[in-house]
Structure 1
Amino acid sequence: MLKALPIGTSTFRKIIEREQLYVDKTRDIYELITGGDVYFLSRPRRFGKSLLLSTLKEIFEGHRELFAGLWIYKSAYQWEKYPVLRIDFSQLKVRTAAELESGLGRYLRRLARQHQLELETGAYYEQFADLIQQLAEKGKVVVLIDEYDKPLVDNLQNVAEARRIREVLRGFYTVLKGMDEYLRFVLLTGVSKFSKVGVFSGLNNLKDITLDNRFATMLGVTQDEINKYLLEHVRAFAENEGWTELELLAQMKIWYDGFSFSKKCARVYNPFSLLLLLDMQDFRNYWFESGTPTFLIKLIREQEYDIQLMEDLVVDELAFSSYEIGHLNVIPLLFQTGYLTIQSYDPAARLYKLYYPNYEVENAFSRYLLNSFVTGEPGLAGGYLWRLAEALRARDWEKFFAVLRIFLADIPYDIQLPREKYYQTIFYLLFKLIGLQIGAEVRTNRGRIDAVVETADGIFIFEFKLDASPAVALAQIRARGYAEQYSLRDAIYLIGVEFGVLERNVVAWQVEQLYAETPDGDPACATML
């Protein structure tokens, strides 16, 4: 009989007592709790941070019986009992620093009552110190903090208030600096990585293990762990769909694998999507749809970030650095939130290549971004994309540009035009979602091509112009020899597109096909208007 999957459960005790499936991470946890005292760990949402803290709580409270059959049960761990403070900032819904202060006070008093303690009156940071000192009478204290950054992240769009909230959090976390003699272990987790000066001022002994090779797979599920713990679920899914086990595993890898948090590039599956896939037996954008990146999309548009750079993004370690409120950088945010991950690392150059972790993230992020540029009914987009692809394959240019005009007709008027770059971005997203290989601003020795689309049987070179005729665009393609590097291909199409500033859409287009070279070495051509 298949073990039940822990869907929606992040409490270790519940998983064990209900005899649900648990992927054993206790060897990594053992290395963590025996190797240091004060840690910080950043991971994307829905990645198992809360379950990790729940597991640590049971270990430090000495509940060895819950771990029967797991690695740590037979390890050298001594199972000493410690008082544990688990603080979950997701329970504090605040919009102001004042609300955070009062909310922290109530939260700490509730924690004290759970431990049969009563706190002295005072500010929130004084009560935090008082709680730790009183608990320490029973033994050194373990502090586990979940979503340390949530009050900040929820209010980043109000910069002034976010800075005041940061000061409250700084006052709270600074308490830990003076409590070292009372503490056995501290772990703070969250999604974002704010400057130590900004939030963790004074915590000089805080060890950031976010990119630590030793803990790269402590959260998430590896391929080996799927083979060890989830293979029966995979087989049941494959049988229901009429697939082979290998076929299903290959699709799972494409859709949900690929997250990497270290130089060694050890890959893990997103556990949220993986478990829901095996439960629902349907490939969907589970992780993405559980929390759409509205703030990130807005930031990309406000900063006019060129998303086409994400096709070949090579960065140094500064790209993973913390950021400051009011000076948000797109790349660290995309990495920390899980929309980009480490694809490879060059130790000689000390450079990282970043990319989307998998198909779910790449496809869903591109669709969501496209919808932010082009309004309209999101549910219809898939049909339009299919028609666009069919028209291109059939070389039906009338249909192709008719469908393209439908997309562009929904450009919201709050987007400031005119700029060729805007249309180029939409074009890039459309072809990316169709599944065709597209290069945007492809470099040649004589300039940059606006867009090149490659299919198995053709090359399509696009040049975009604002209020300039398609003939001008084609003349530029020819004059700069953009097609020369593709001369060995059987079919090359040069496509000039005019966008009207007032019309905010395609107003004219012209296609020219290059055939095989003629005997005198020049390509023959035919023009299709």
Structure 2
Amino acid sequence: MADFEERRLPVGIQSFKEIRRNNYAYVDKTEIVWNLVNRGKKYNYLSRPRRFGKSLLVDTLQTYFEGRSDLFEGLKIMNLEKEWKKSPVIRLDMSRAGASEKTIRSYLSMAFSREEAKYGIAMHEGASLADRFDTIIQTACQQTGESVAILIDEYDSPLQHSWKTPDHEACTAVYREVFAILKADDEYERFVFITGITKFTQISLFSVLNNLSNISFDEPFAAICGITTREITDYFGPEVKAMGEANGWTEEETMVRLKTNYDGYHFCRSNMVDVYNPFSLVNALADKDIKNYWATSGATSLLLKFVDDMEIKLTDYDHSAILSTIIETSDVTGGGAELFLYQSGYLTIKGYMNGLYLLGFPNHEVRQALYETVLPALAMRKRGDIQSAQDKRKVIALAVELDDQGKGLVDWKQVGVTEQ
């Protein structure tokens, strides 16, 4: 580990290569990464909330498949990987694909053009995206003599942004057209990894890949993203100490504050390990301050779309139960508000018994973020229209209940009340 004065924290950095080349602090997840790749399951899906390190994980996988052992020096994977076999990698970042059929097709066409240039592929004019994807996968395998690693990051971004718009069905149609190739080209593929936040089961990624392994609830991968208490101790001890000194706290008091605000996520039903939100934690250590970093980084776009369907009594969600069949397999568009709030990080697993998950808020930051977003939305979603007195009373009643909890969560002006 570098000396404290030489260390830099990777605030917002999603590139494994940049972190390793520029001596940023790095929480070593490479043993988990190696186990994921080498467990004998080709098709894998991981759901985690936004800002939880999914893109960094994808970049780590890409670097591994590229055989860049030099960037893994000193990490746990060096004791596990012996061959460092290089594989062709096709990586798609669907967060860049917009939210319409046109923008998705444009992004995929651009991404496929880069791959075609790499392998000298000349497709005939008018070739479909599916045909181009198919040709790229097969050619990459044939030219290199190695099967292909395919990494699809933030697969659901266009579907999130287009949901409840006229463009949504056309967007899902593009997915069904293009990604059905993944199953057809099985013999040319080494590993397929897909990340997202929410699950849209009607697209071919889930309906065609019936052998897709959803690792989102698997205990061995519960901490593949995020940071555990042990990892804070192992990798960020100097930063915790410096944060405490800057604020007049002991190290123990600093850890309590970090835990209260950023810890509490659980992603499996047994032997639940506490996981901190990495974005908020690293920002807090860098700033030596406790703030609501996660919410201010941009609210999940679907949240306000769900407001109309949510029960006004949001406090009920802090102790809500959901069937395992719903939380583990259901489509976000039909699974209810609890499912969406879990997938997007506003709720987490608190317990499990007899086919039921108990959900609740992971920490103070998330509780505050939800209420600061939802309350104004409930009060202002029909700005310019006359809000019914009944709706107004419901919003104020919720605000009163929250204020009575003494958590300082209510901005009464945003609720629409100038005098209490």
- When normalised by structure 2's length, the TM-score is 0.89
Do the aligned residues in 2 keep the contact of 1:125 with 1:171 (CA within 8 Å)?
yes
| One of 191, 215, 226 as aligned partner of 1:220 | 226
Write the letter of the residue equivalent to 2:18. Answer: K
Counterpart of 1:424 in structure 2 is 397
Do the aligned residues in 2 keep the contact of 1:367 with 1:433 (CA within 8 Å)?
no
Counterpart of 2:38 in structure 1 is 34
Counterpart of 1:466 in structure 2 is none
Once the two structures are superposed, what CA deviation does each residue of 1:487-512 show, in whole Å capped at 9, x if it has no partner?
xxxxxxxxxxxxxxxxx9899x9xxx
| One of 43, 54, 57 as aligned partner of 2:59 | 54
Do the aligned residues in 2 keep the contact of 1:193 with 1:321 (CA within 8 Å)?
no
d(CA) in 1 for partners of 2:245, 2:331: 51
1:333 aligns with 2:370: no
Q: Measured at CA, do residues 168 and 4 of structure 1 come closer, stay the same or move farther in structure 2, by a change above 3 Å?
A: same
Counterpart of 2:387 in structure 1 is 415
Once the two structures are superposed, what CA deviation does each residue of 1:112-163 show, in whole Å capped at 9, x if it has no partner?
32455444440111100011011011111000110111111111120x4211
Once the two structures are superposed, what CA deviation does each residue of 1:342-389 show, in whole Å capped at 9, x if it has no partner?
01222xx232111111110011211222222346xxxxxxxxxxxxxx
Task: Within 5 Å, give how 1:380-419 maps onto structure 2.
Answer: 414-418=386-390
Q: Measured at CA, do residues 94 and 374 of structure 1 come closer, stay the same or move farther in structure 2, by a change above 3 Å?
A: closer
In the TM superposition, what is the alpha-carbon distance from 1:195 to its structure 2 partner?
1.2
Structure 1 residues 27-36 or 365-374, which shifts more? 365-374
Task: Within 5 Å, give how 1:266-281 maps onto structure 2.
Answer: 266-281=273-288
Counterpart of 2:25 in structure 1 is 21
Write the letter of the residue equivalent to 1:258. Answer: G
Three-state SS of the structure 2 residue aligned to 1:200 is helix
In the TM superposition, what is the alpha-carbon distance from 1:240 to its structure 2 partner?
1.7
Write the letter of the residue equivalent to 2:295. Answer: F
User: Quick check: which one's helix share is greater?
Assistant: 2
Do the aligned residues in 2 keep the contact of 1:256 with 1:269 (CA within 8 Å)?
yes
In the TM superposition, what is the alpha-carbon distance from 1:266 to its structure 2 partner?
1.5
d(CA) in 1 for partners of 2:261, 2:102: 43
Once the two structures are superposed, what CA deviation does each residue of 1:35-65 show, in whole Å capped at 9, x if it has no partner?
1211011111111111111111111111111
Write the letter of the residue equivalent to 2:87. Answer: Y
| One of 229, 233, 236 as aligned partner of 2:235 | 229
Q: Measured at CA, do residues 172 and 5 of structure 1 come closer, stay the same or move farther in structure 2, by a change above 3 Å?
A: same
d(CA) in 2 for partners of 1:370, 1:149: 26
Counterpart of 1:255 in structure 2 is 261
Counterpart of 1:297 in structure 2 is 304
d(CA) in 1 for partners of 2:383, 2:174: 42
Do the aligned residues in 1 keep the contact of 2:243 with 2:289 (CA within 8 Å)?
no
In the TM superposition, what is the alpha-carbon distance from 1:294 to its structure 2 partner?
5.5
Counterpart of 2:413 in structure 1 is none
| One of 48, 65, 68 as aligned partner of 2:70 | 65
Task: Within 5 Å, give how 1:483-522 maps onto structure 2.
Answer: none
Do the aligned residues in 1 keep the contact of 2:159 with 2:172 (CA within 8 Å)?
yes
Structure 1 residues 51-60 or 422-431, which shifts more? 422-431
1:362 aligns with 2:367: yes
1:307 aligns with 2:311: no
Do the aligned residues in 2 keep the contact of 1:166 with 1:199 (CA within 8 Å)?
no
Write the letter of the residue equivalent to 1:7. Answer: V
Structure whose alpha-carbon radius of gyration is higher: 1
d(CA) in 2 for partners of 1:117, 1:433: 64
The answer to which structure, 1 or 2, has the higher relative contact order (CA under 8 A, 6+ apart) is 2
| One of 137, 145, 149 as aligned partner of 1:142 | 149
Gaps of 5+ in 2: 410-415
d(CA) in 2 for partners of 1:412, 1:231: 52
Task: Within 5 Å, give how 1:445-460 maps onto structure 2.
Answer: none
1:105 aligns with 2:78: no
d(CA) in 1 for partners of 2:407, 2:65: 51
In the TM superposition, what is the alpha-carbon distance from 1:101 to its structure 2 partner?
2.3
Once the two structures are superposed, what CA deviation does each residue of 1:320-356 show, in whole Å capped at 9, x if it has no partner?
145558646211110110000001222xx23211111
Q: Measured at CA, do residues 434 and 227 of structure 1 come closer, stay the same or move farther in structure 2, by a change above 3 Å?
A: closer
Do the aligned residues in 2 keep the contact of 1:102 with 1:124 (CA within 8 Å)?
no
Counterpart of 1:202 in structure 2 is 208
d(CA) in 2 for partners of 1:432, 1:411: 29
Q: CA RMSD in A?
A: 2.6
1:79 aligns with 2:79: no
Write the letter of the residue equivalent to 1:164. Answer: A
d(CA) in 2 for partners of 1:246, 1:237: 11
Q: Measured at CA, do residues 37 and 123 of structure 1 come closer, stay the same or move farther in structure 2, by a change above 3 Å?
A: same
Counterpart of 1:9 in structure 2 is 13
1:317 aligns with 2:324: yes
Write the letter of the residue equivalent to 1:416. Answer: S
| Count of residues in correspondence between the two structures | 404
d(CA) in 1 for partners of 2:379, 2:202: 39
d(CA) in 2 for partners of 1:426, 1:286: 23
Three-state SS of the structure 1 residue aligned to 2:134 is helix
Do the aligned residues in 2 keep the contact of 1:321 with 1:332 (CA within 8 Å)?
no
Do the aligned residues in 1 keep the contact of 2:161 with 2:301 (CA within 8 Å)?
no
Once the two structures are superposed, what CA deviation does each residue of 1:435-467 show, in whole Å capped at 9, x if it has no partner?
59xxxxxxxxxxxxxxxxxxxxxxxxxxxxxxx
Three-state SS of the structure 1 residue aligned to 2:362 is coil
d(CA) in 2 for partners of 1:326, 1:26: 34
Counterpart of 1:239 in structure 2 is 245
Counterpart of 2:412 in structure 1 is none
Q: Measured at CA, do residues 411 and 357 of structure 1 come closer, stay the same or move farther in structure 2, by a change above 3 Å?
A: same
d(CA) in 2 for partners of 1:134, 1:414: 61
Task: Within 5 Å, give how 1:123-138 maps onto structure 2.
Answer: 123-137=128-142, 138=144
d(CA) in 1 for partners of 2:155, 2:194: 6
Counterpart of 1:452 in structure 2 is none
d(CA) in 1 for partners of 2:61, 2:198: 21
Counterpart of 2:179 in structure 1 is 173
d(CA) in 1 for partners of 2:323, 2:239: 40
Q: Measured at CA, do residues 162 and 45 of structure 1 come closer, stay the same or move farther in structure 2, by a change above 3 Å?
A: same
